[in-house]
Amino acid sequence: MPRKNLSISAFFPCYNDSKTIGGLVIDALDTLKTLTKDYEVIVVNDGSQDESAKVLEGLSKKYKHLKVVTHKKNRGYGGALRSGFSAASRDLIFYTDGDAQYDVKEMSILFNLMTPDVNFVNGIKMRRGDAEYRVIAGNLHRFVNRWLFWLPIYDVDCDFRLIRRELMQKVKLESNSGSICIELAKKAERAGAIFRQVSVHHYDRKFGQSQFFRPKKILFTYYDISKLWIRLMVLDKFF
């Protein structure tokens, strides 16, 4: 199918992102209409405790292409992504985070690289827009997990992706934590993904705080990564 005829679902996990999610949705809608006539934007409100629900309600009344999926309780980053992939109904699925540290308008770069021989386009952060300790921790996380899982992409921590839905229909995601990014890349590879990678911008966080860089969340994520490694690299390989 020619690229111009492909439809697109763009979704964003949202947890206490009331100050950024509105602009993100509007920018996504403006970008999508330049790429295709058939598109939708989905926001997964993952049990937000701020004004996110109110913001999304107002946007839903104004924009017919917007769909909101609401979790009454927070399910974690992985749970939000799983809901987003399940709700997406178009040929291509794009997602990035609701905190607006990525420029959603750069979705067009990924779209232009989605040639017929490719079904997974992944971003690579040019420069991480975070505090120095997070940059160091992020680089270590990326390096260790890339080699632990023999990942097919350079920056598994870059949540700026465009994937063919037909590929995702072959992938069953199970993680509820941030380990889902590793699971996604590895299971997509095993499902026959052909990857392309491209540099994208990553900006400083203007509002709020990361939900990941907290001791409890970090421990939970790495516990999940340990289980994932056993399941994918040991059990699936030898049994």
The tens digit of pLDDT for each residue in 24-47 reads: 999 999 999 999 999 999 999 999
The tens digit of pLDDT for each residue in 146-197 reads: 899 999 999 999 999 999 999 999 999 999 988 999 999 999 999 999 999 9
Give the architecture-level CATH label for domain 6-238.
Alpha-Beta Complex (3.90)
Q: How many angstroms separate the Cα of 161 from the Cα of each of 104, 185, 207, 215?
A: 11, 11, 23, 27
pTM for the model stands at: 0.91
Give every strand in the sheet of 120-125, ordered side by side: 66-71, 39-46, 8-14, 92-96, 160-164, 120-125, 195-200
Tokens at 53, concatenated: 């629900």
